[in-house]
Amino acid sequence: MAQEMLALEGVRKSFGDVEVLHGIDLTVHRGEVVAILGPSGSGKTTLLRCANFLERADAGTLALGGERFDLAHATKREVAAVRKKTAFVFQNYNLFRNRTVLGNVTEGLIVARKMPRAQAEKIARDCLERVGMGDRADAYPIQLSGGQQQRVAIARAMATDPEIIYFDEPTSALDPELTIEVLGSMRRLAEDGMTMLVVTHEMGFARNVADRVVFMEGGSVVAAAPSAEFFEHPDNDRVRAFLRTVG
C-alpha cells in the first residue's frame, strides 16, 4: 500500500446553526488522485477549504506528510506550515491582475519562500512550459482566456513543489473547449505523480484520471471506491441516482 500523504479525520463545520460537515474522514495516498463528487451543497468545497484553513473547522484533524494538525485549534505557525506543503487551485483562478504570468508564478517563491529571483524565474518558466503557457510569460491575466488563466494558476501551484494540490471545481467557470485544455494539464500533472484532491463535476476526469472517488451528500461521505468500481458497479442507491442525473 502506498504511503499515506493526507488524512482528514472527523471534520465538522457549521455555518451559524447549520452543520454542513458531519464528521468527514478522507485519506489520500502519495501520488494518488482523488476526486470528490456529489450534488451541489453537499459540503465538498467547504471540506477542501477546511483542509487548507481557508475556513476554520469546528473539529477534526489533518495528517499531512507525517505531521498532525488540529483543524479547529491550529496556531498561525501551524497554518503556515500546512500552506507551505499544499497548493490550492480555485474555481476563478485568483491570479494577480496587475502582475504578468511570470510574476504570478514567481510571487509565492520570491515573497513567501525567499527564493532568489533568477531561481524562481527558472522554476516558473519550467512550470509554465509544462502547462503549455511558456510563450505567454509576459502577458497579463486579462489578455488570456479563462482556460489559459487556469493553466497559469496550475503552474503557480506546481511551482511551490507542494505535497498535494487541492483543486476546487477548476473547470466549472470554463466553456467546454477551454475545459479540455485545463483537464489536459491536470492529467499530465497526475501522470507526473502529483498527489491531487479534486472537487469536480467532470465525470470524464473522475473516471479516467482519478484513482479513487469520494462521494459526498448532505455533509457526509456516502461512498468511496476506486474510480472504475465507483462508475461501473456503484453499490449505493444514492450514487446510482447521482450518476443517472449526471450521466
Nearest approach in angstroms of CB 146 to ligand ADP is 20
Helix axes 146-159, 117-130, angle to 10 degrees: 130
- Residue 170 interacts with ligand ADP (CB under 6 A): yes or no: no
Place of cell 503557457: 133
Comparing CB distances to ligand ADP, the nearer of 45 and 104 is 45
Comparing CB distances to ligand ADP, the nearer of 131 and 206 is 206
Nearest approach in angstroms of CB 36 to ligand ADP is 8
Count the alpha carbons within 13 Å of 110 in the hemisphere toward its beta carbon: 14
Residue 25 grid coordinates: 474522514
- List b or e across 48-60, with b for residues whose CB sees 16 or more CB atoms inside 10 angstroms: bbbbbbbbebebb
Per-residue contact string for residues 12-51; x = within reach of ligand ADP by CB under 6 A: ---x----x-----------------x-xxxxxxx-----
- Residue 197 interacts with ligand ADP (CB under 6 A): yes or no: no
86/51 Cα distance (integer angstroms) = 10
Sign (positive/negative) of CA torsion 230, 234, 236, 238?
Answer: positive
Residue 70 pairs in a beta bridge with: 61
Are 186 and 89 a contacting pair, CB within 8 Å? no
Comparing CB distances to ligand ADP, the nearer of 42 and 86 is 42
Q: How many residues bind ligand ADP (CB under 6 A)?
A: 10
Comparing CB distances to ligand ADP, the nearer of 15 and 96 is 15
Residues that bind ligand ADP (CB under 6 A): 15, 20, 38, 40-46
